[in-house]
A and B are shown apart, each in its own frame.
Chain A
């Protein structure tokens, strides 16, 4: 014997060489002699071996007594060794060792070589006790008992070419218990060994034993070295061990020293876990390399309250989760799959963002490689059928909005890439190749600017979306929204860098048709500075249904047919026009409407009104009046539309001019106003159709600072006086005198004889009236002898109407009552003649 040999060689000497030598060389001699009965001492560089007796028993069994082995590290004593074996064919039948004793000696660890047993590994033998058919390994933390060790010849292809070893075993490692049967076939042709262990694992948390199976292939020679990587461990039914209760995981998870994800921020997962892979044990002679790792959690009641995420869940008592983690070391790929069934989930970020009673099914899969060469792939499927969500001012009842979302893609340093997305629910959405850069989700404007979309299509029922997104959230502050009822379809799609909105619908207003066949084509260039063309068109626009029913004359149908308004849409500017509304009795046109999206400024350019016949349009309007305007423009700023230019109306032989027109369309109460001047108005034409009483003559005047709130006047200053240049007869009826007196709160200075006349002549009319703070102030402009005349009589006679109200103040309420009295007197035909 030469050189330092590893322990396997010693085992070879003990187990195999002896039998080979006995069988092949000395077998015959020993058989004939019956054995060696004198002590034998063998010495070589690695150690000394001696035994006292070597006997050959019947059937070729060998008996060796008082075996002693010693080298620098180990001292071993076996009082008795019996080997039952067959010679032809050669096979091992049984090895009996009685009361083996070992001592590990202090050795020189510097001489340890790779592939050789280390001093520490020898140390394991300290804990091994071998007796008849039994091997016991007992350390402080672990105990292994192999009992009933038997060796039987195995027949393969009609030949005895191997031995079958079997034993029962029990192992305890801390709180885990393993018991089962071990079998091994020792192939004498290839000298390989196959070991199979079947048993039951009982571990802490397992409510019942779990079956396990372990298969080993130990090639010979160098079997221990080649065991690495050839080791497999399978648990056939992974579901069967889904019962490990009380599993807790805290900290970070890493493989090969690289962190997969960190749970350092206080996330604590509780549930059931199976980790069917081994742990590298320092003192074992083999290193168990990870072949496949799987981690499962099954949870019936997760405690999510400590999760440090934006939405802090407050409930979810009936939730079910399942998480599976897999890792393949060969290609360094990992995969995380989770199925969550969340029921009655509630939570809130703040008072504006909350969810309640949410039932969700979530399937989430992540996959990547540990080297991070590949981007992490993700796939998510979410479905919902119950719950409420508040994203103020929007509220969604998911019971009525059942749906599902499926999306997949990759995470990269450029952001979240969505390779495909599909939503089914209140609306349908399909998308492909969408990239959301980091930080793009901060605002809607930011999303539109930074998002990259290859293809996106969304479509839905307009009525449902209108109710959900506009009517319900905003009708409290804008009640008119609740009167619109659109019905039709809306779709949004992307084409390159342009977002296209297409809407085809009918619109009702207060249960009456307002628009039929409304078609809006609105392309929005969200990623390019070039502008796009769109249109708004309709088949019929029933404008009269938008106005109060009492306003339009009966039978008048204000319809605008087959109109098309071209639009140009840029990133920050939308312009539309020209818009021409043919109102049957006149036309209204706007050359261009401009809206600046960022500054919320707007403008109307080239507004015109042509031959607008007010009498034929409006009910209760008794005068022939035509309105004209051209070249008017308006600017919208800070909620107010201010017009420049003037609107002119022809009325009663004179002209009315409105300037400084303005409108606050989005104020809580719509307000508008203007300055109005009028001249050369024939009073007879104006007063004749009314209950006021006839007054003839020509007047001029102005209304300054007129402010209307809704359809009620809020304030104005009116001056009206006769136009001397007209040279027409100026007369006033007795009824007009009386009504003027009623309005002024004074009295007409008509003598008793005066009632015999229907009309009186007058010289001048001069009235000023203002409204502010719900108080009218009425004054006569003609002042003589300390009196204020509204109407002054002529030199030869006539009538004076004197303002007897010293302050001229009339409350709005009183004025309304006085007007009522005038109109009622008309109804009752109690006119004084």
Chain B
């Protein structure tokens, strides 16, 4: 009878020990941060860099093209093309960022803070720009996650890391959303 009780106790102990094991899913935060840093700099960099980002001119061979891939650890054709689009859009967005109309959200997306003082045409333009940019950013986050084998459930973490980099590289005057949700002006 006593041996049976001992067996139960051992079994219970084993169960408790195994129950305490935490399974950590690896999240390559450093790689995402590096990618975010490089992409943010690239998108908001100089015009020269933008020229280098032009796509290939031949379907069969990638002749006469130059990719400013730099030292990126995360990149692929989708990311490169999204960068080109975002970089081309940035000059249109910059005045709205500087003017405080658009803020860099804590989720890595742009947020319209205010459209006061803008005519309706400008309001429409602003909303279209922000929606197009956010659509490209989400595609970018998915592509980065796919590149680093990050499950889609973890894309929110990719967004947060990117948010920090977008906020760092945003021009003076841009509203920045803190993780707490509050807004400050850069």
Contacts and interface: CB of A to CB of B under 8 A. Distances in A.
Interface stretch (A179-187, A333-341, A513-521, A663-671): A663-671
Interface in A437-481: 473, 476-477
Given A393-B128, A773-B74, A621 B60 contact: yes
A393 B66 contact: no
B64 to A, nearest CB: 8
Contact of B120 (A388, A620, A712, A713): A388
Given A710-B55, A712-B55, A477 B78 contact: no
Contacts of A620: 58-60
Contact of A669 (B72, B78, B123, B148): B78
Contact of A712 (B77, B89, B112): B77
Contact of A823 (B61, B69, B82, B121): B61
Nearest to A475: B128
Interface in A218-259: none
Interface string B45-83: 000000000011111111111110100111111101110
Nearest to A667: B139
Contact of A811 (B61, B63, B69, B124): B69
Contacts of A359: none
Contacts of A820: 62-64
A390 B128 CA distance: 12
Interface in A631-688: 667-669, 671
Contact of A351 (B60, B77, B89, B123): B123
Contacts of B66: 813, 816
Contacts of A816: 62, 65-67
A353 to B, nearest CB: 11
Contact of B61 (A395, A671, A715, A819): A819
A392 interface: yes
A711 B56 contact: yes
Contacts of A671: 78
Contact of A354 (B81, B89, B120): B120
Interface stretch (B129-137, B157-165, B173-181): B129-137
A773 B63 contact: no
Nearest to B92: A476
Nearest to A708: B77
Contacts of B128: 393, 473, 476-477
Contacts of A476: 89, 128-129, 131-132
Contact of A715 (B56, B76, B89): B76
A389 interface: yes
A708 B60 CA distance: 13
B79 to A, nearest CB: 8
Contacts of A667: 139
B80 to A, nearest CB: 7
A390 B129 CA distance: 15
B124 A393 contact: yes
Contacts of A548: 59
B135 A392 contact: no
Interface string A390-428: 101101010000000000000000000000000000000
B91 interface: no
B61 A774 contact: no
Contacts of A621: 60
B76 to A, nearest CB: 5
A709 B119 contact: no
Interface in A611-635: 618, 620-621
Given A550-B59, A773-B74, A819-B62, A388 B139 contact: no
Contact of B147 (A351, A395, A710, A773): A773
B77 A709 contact: yes
Contacts of B37: none
Contacts of A715: 76
A10 interface: no
A773 B78 CA distance: 10
Contacts of A397: 121
Given A351-B112, A668-B139, A393 B81 contact: no
Contacts of A773: 73-76, 147-148
B98 interface: no
B101 to A, nearest CB: 12
B113 to A, nearest CB: 11
Contacts of A811: 69
A551 interface: yes
B69 A774 contact: yes
A618 B59 CA distance: 10
A667 B65 CA distance: 24
Nearest to A395: B124
A712 B75 contact: no
Interface string A53-92: 0000000000000000000000000000000000000000
Contacts of A354: 120, 123
Q: Counting chain A CB atoms within 10 Å of each CB, which of B61, B73, B115, B147 scores highest?
A: B61
Contacts of B55: 710-712
B56 A712 contact: yes
Contacts of B85: 668-669
B120 A669 contact: no
B127 interface: yes
Contacts of A669: 77-78, 81-82, 85, 139
B80 A389 contact: no
A774 B76 contact: yes
A356 interface: yes
A392 B112 CA distance: 14
Given A715-B76, A773-B75, A395 B120 contact: yes
Contact of A711 (B59, B75, B135): B59
A812 B139 CA distance: 21
A580 interface: no
Interface of A: 351-352, 354-356, 388-390, 392-393, 395, 397, 473, 476-477, 548, 550-551, 618, 620-621, 667-669, 671, 708-715, 772-774, 811-813, 816, 819-820, 823
24 contacts: A351-B115, A354-B120, A355-B120, A390-B123, A476-B129, A477-B128, A477-B132, A620-B59, A667-B139, A668-B82, A668-B135, A668-B139, A669-B85, A709-B76, A709-B77, A710-B77, A711-B59, A715-B76, A811-B69, A816-B66, A816-B67, A819-B62, A820-B64, A823-B63
Interface of B: 55-67, 69, 72-78, 80-82, 85, 89, 112, 115, 119-121, 123-124, 127-129, 131-132, 135-136, 139, 147-148
Across the A-B interface, the 8 shortest Cβ-Cβ residue pairs? A709-B77, A712-B77, A395-B124, A476-B132, A774-B75, A388-B120, A709-B78, A714-B77
Given A477-B128, A548-B59, 13 more contacts: A388-B119, A388-B120, A390-B120, A392-B127, A473-B124, A477-B131, A620-B60, A667-B139, A711-B56, A712-B56, A714-B78, A772-B147, A774-B69
